[in-house]
Amino acid sequence: MRSHGTFAWNELATSDVATAKAFYAATLGWTFQEFALPHGPYWVAMSGEQLVGGLGGMDTAAVPGTTTSTWFAFLEVDEIDTRLTKAVAHGATIVAPAEDVPNVGRCAVLRDPTGAIIGWMTSLASKPE
């Protein structure tokens, strides 16, 4: 299970998926498994048997309107909707509201009071069975 307040996921939104996959395969030995997302094609990156992140085209970018290739991180939070309300009360703004992502969990993107953009997620992996 993932722990509340820890980094849970990193993903690359890129303008050139084929080149990015080839680069990380050649330099880090990653392999990729296709993963269906509502926003477009996406690949889960694997280091051996371990999930290490994800990769997709610009249409899968966590931050709406992203136009340059960039890595993006998500923090695991318990009860995302409650935590987002608390974040807004403490000066955050919502960039992308919470939405359910099939087979992943519930994800949102916010801007903290310093202006930094970060993803928050309550992943299915963090919920007790």
Question: pLDDT 10s per residue in the chain (129 long)?
Answer: 578 999 999 999 999 999 999 999 999 999 999 998 887 889 999 999 999 999 999 988 888 888 999 999 999 999 999 999 999 999 999 999 999 998 899 999 999 999 999 999 999 975 544
Q: Name the token pair of 86.
A: 């608390």
How far, in Å, CA of 55 to CA of 34, rounded? 9
Burial of 73 (C-beta count, 10 Å sphere; 0-12/13-18/19+): middle
Q: Classify domain 7-126 at the CATH topology level.
A: 2,3-Dihydroxybiphenyl 1,2-Dioxygenase; domain 1 (3.10.180)
How far, in Å, CA of 122 to CA of 76, rounded? 6
Q: Name the token pair of 49.
A: 């048997």
Owner of token pair 């318990």: 78
Query: Taking the model in full, what pTM does it have?
Result: 0.85
